[in-house]
Amino acid sequence: MRAPPILETSELRFQYPGAIRPALDGIDIRVEPGSLYAVIGPNGSGKSTLLRLLLGALYPNHGAVRYLGQPVHEWTRRELAKQVGVVPQGEDTVFPISVSELVGMGRYPHLGMLRRPGLQDRQAVEEAMRRCDVIEFAARPISRLSGGERQRVLIARALAQRPATLLLDEPTVSLDIRHEMEIFELLAELTGVDGVTVILVTHHLNLAARYAERLLLLDRGVAVAEGAPNEVLTRATIERVYEWPVVVSAHPGPGRDAGAPQLTPLAGEPANE
Amino acid sequence: MTPRRVARLALLLIIAAFVFGVSMTIGAAHLPLREVIAALGGAGDETTRAIVLHLRLPRAVLALLVGGALGLAGAVFQALLRNPLAEPWVLGVSGGAAVGAVTAVVLGWSLLAPWSVPLAAFAGALLAILLVLRIATYAASGLDTRVLILAGLVVAAFFNAVIQLLLTFASGETFRSALFWMMGSLAAADWTSVVLLTAYMLPAMAALLLMARPLNLLAVGEETALYLGTRVERVKLASYLIASLLVAATVAVSGIIGFVGLIVPHAIRLMWGSDHQLLFPASVLLGGGFLLAADTAARTVAAPAELPLGVITALVGVPLFVLLLTRRAV
């Protein structure tokens, strides 16, 4: 008997109003508790749409999304927000707001409209800021941060929710190597030590191959492959989906993820005289 | 609410109380504070009691209420529309109210029944709110705040044209009183309007103050608000309607008073940041104190003539705001 999935979809189909074909069609996924699940695919393949469907921000035209066995639309937004933390893409604030204020919003689902933050809330906020390495600029306005720092603040806000499940939409865009690796290490720690389930949309195929237990490869709204990294990241599949020649090698190590499949896109043919 | 925030609100309350004290003592007759306090307690001589209890007190209370409502509504619209330039009149409420009021003046109803002007203004404001809401929800599924701004702009432009049309046919005297109405005044304050407005506005203001956290999230982004547990459509609709109905009430009793709703929330933001849990109550207190100060100036500076209130709020408020803006980096 397997443990029940934390999040599952059945024959999910979604079409934007006025679009000629569905943005997603026939998506069946099962995300096991405490695992790191990565969604990959070319631009426009439906990754962010899938994330919105999983979060109940869009209604599927067909099929269903279940969180802990219950249709996601039957959850109240607040109960779902106590369970699921989200790091959205491209969030921009209009008004001056400090890092600690923004991270503190992660506690709102637990506080409701009026309850004052207590000791537990302050600890959650501080711990989240420490884990994401943003605590030294807690008092700084968001507008004064670099893109990478801002991204870490958004992750800290999601962690301040103390979520059972964390969904991230390309969280390491515009991060340097160290901060990118730190985010992936943090995600690995969250799944491994804290038992958090992580669902990640990313373009970093090689990092996804090293850190995720399972990959979902989307192409034009269809699940082309789903499974362990070495089942999904094969030369034939990747070349067909991304329309670019690649070679697949094994991560040489050292490290606990030695042997993970790694893709190298090839340079074009040398131009003839 | 941290002790520091309580102290900040207390400071604004003290400022408002000070302005209130000053406004009670100065005017056509200068009354020492001791006599004012005696009159408020029901003692003192007949004339002083009449001036304090029937002229200055209702007018001061009305100024505090209207200023507080405008400050709060401005802060709400800025958060809801995610736009720092938003103010209470940005969604066309003033245009609708002005059409109502000017119609009442032009048709001569105001001479037959003085209360017809506030009533017509309120009806016009309601018409504008419903029209804007209808356009905004018709054009998009749910309430798209970008469409809401556009709907507000076009409705305001349409009503402006109607006002200009009406004024084209107005006589000189009618023109003048219509213009004066549009620049705002609290000269018509009496206890009836104070009691009516208090009963109407306090619940609306309380409801908006309760929405501080959801509007904090909406100001960051609708998607973020949804993922942090907000029923986004409900909060947008409720805050839009309640804030609009609030300014519709102010416009009925005081005409169109500009700048308070724009400047007050931004002044608080520049000093103390954008958390609406502080910004909303602070905007109420500062808006009330500021409008009471402006109204006191309006009725005393050029006495016995009264200056239009909207002119004072702009003449005084804008330089103060520019000073604050240039001294603090945004």
DSSP characters for B104-124? HHHTTHHHH-TTHHHHHHHHH
CB contact under 8 A, B220 and A114: no
**Which has more confidence, B113 or B64?**
B64
Give pLDDT tens digits for A137-163: 999 999 889 888 899 999 999 999 999
Chain A positions touching B224 (Cβ under 8 A) are 86, 88, 91
Confidence of residue B219 (pLDDT cuts 50, 70, 90): very high
Considering CB atoms only, which of A85, A88, A94 is closest to B84?
A94
SS3 B274: coil
CB under 8 Å to A137, separation ≥6 — which residues? A99, A145, A149
CB contact under 8 A, B274 and A88: no
Unique residue bearing structure tokens 């416009």: B251
In the prediction, which pLDDT does A169 show? 95
Confidence of residue A56 (pLDDT cuts 50, 70, 90): very high
Q: Are A197 and A30 contacting, i.e. CB atoms less than 8 angstroms apart?
A: no
The CA distance from B83 to the nearest CA of chain A, in Å, is: 7
Rounded Cα distance between A217 and A211, Å, is 15
Strand (E) or helix (H) holding B133: helix B116-139
Select from A193, A200, A132 the least CA-distant residue to A166. Answer: A200
Q: How far is CA B164 from the centre of its chain?
A: 24
CB under 8 Å to B145, separation ≥6 — which residues? B80, B81, B82, B222, B236
CB contact under 8 A, B229 and A102: no
Radius of gyration of chain A (CA): 19
What average pLDDT does this structure show over B114-134? 88
Strand A7-14 with A30-31, pairing? antiparallel
Chain B positions touching A94 (Cβ under 8 A) are 82-84, 219
What chain B holds in terms of domains, given with CATH numbers, is 11-327 (1.10.3470.10)
The CA distance from B235 to the nearest CA of chain A, in Å, is: 12
Q: Does B216 touch chain A (CB under 8 A)?
A: yes
User: What's the mean pLDDT when you consider all of chain A?
Assistant: 92
Q: Are A109 and B205 contacting, i.e. CB atoms less than 8 angstroms apart?
A: no
Rounded Cα distance between A86 and B7, Å, is 35
User: What's the mean pLDDT when you consider all of chain B?
Assistant: 88
What average pLDDT does this structure show over B221-238? 94
Chain A positions touching B226 (Cβ under 8 A) are 55, 57, 77
CB contact under 8 A, A113 and B227: no
The CA distance from B225 to the nearest CA of chain A, in Å, is: 10
The CA distance from A108 to the nearest CA of chain B, in Å, is: 7
Max Cα separation, chain B? Answer: 63
Q: Does B274 touch chain A (CB under 8 A)?
A: yes
* Structure ipTM over 0.85, yes or no: yes
What average pLDDT does this structure show over B226-236? 94
For B29, other C-beta atoms within 10 Å of its C-beta total 12
In the prediction, which pLDDT does A194 show? 92
Q: Does B82 touch chain A (CB under 8 A)?
A: yes
SS3 B252: helix
What average pLDDT does this structure show over B249-270? 90
DSSP secondary structure letter of residue A83: H
In the prediction, which pLDDT does B330 show? 45
**Chains A and B: how many Cβ contacts under 8 Å?**
77
CB contact under 8 A, B84 and A95: yes
Half-sphere exposure of A110 (CA within 13 A, CB side): 23
Q: What are phi and psi of B171, to 5 degrees?
A: -75, 170
Chain A positions touching B82 (Cβ under 8 A) are 94
The full set of domain ranges for chain A reads 7-225
The CA distance from B75 to the nearest CA of chain A, in Å, is: 11
Closest chain A residue to the Cα of B217, Cα to Cα: A105
Q: Does B230 touch chain A (CB under 8 A)?
A: yes
Considering CB atoms only, which of B212, B228, B269 is closest to A81?
B228
Q: Does B266 touch chain A (CB under 8 A)?
A: no
SS3 A58: coil
**Which has more confidence, A176 or B114?**
A176
Min mean pLDDT across A261-270, B15-24, B70-79 is at: A261-270
In the prediction, which pLDDT does B94 show? 86
Confidence of residue B179 (pLDDT cuts 50, 70, 90): confident
Please name the amino acid found at residue B115: W
Considering CB atoms only, which of A95, A111, A161 is closest to B274?
A95
- For A7-225, CATH number out of 3.30.300.210, 3.30.70.270, 3.40.50.300, 2.40.50.100 equals 3.40.50.300
In the prediction, which pLDDT does A271 show? 61
Q: Is the pLDDT of residue B329 over 60?
A: no
Rounded Cα distance between B94 and B247, Å, is 8
In the prediction, which pLDDT does A272 show? 59
Confidence of residue B292 (pLDDT cuts 50, 70, 90): very high
Rounded Cα distance between B101 and B98, Å, is 5
Chain B positions touching A121 (Cβ under 8 A) are none
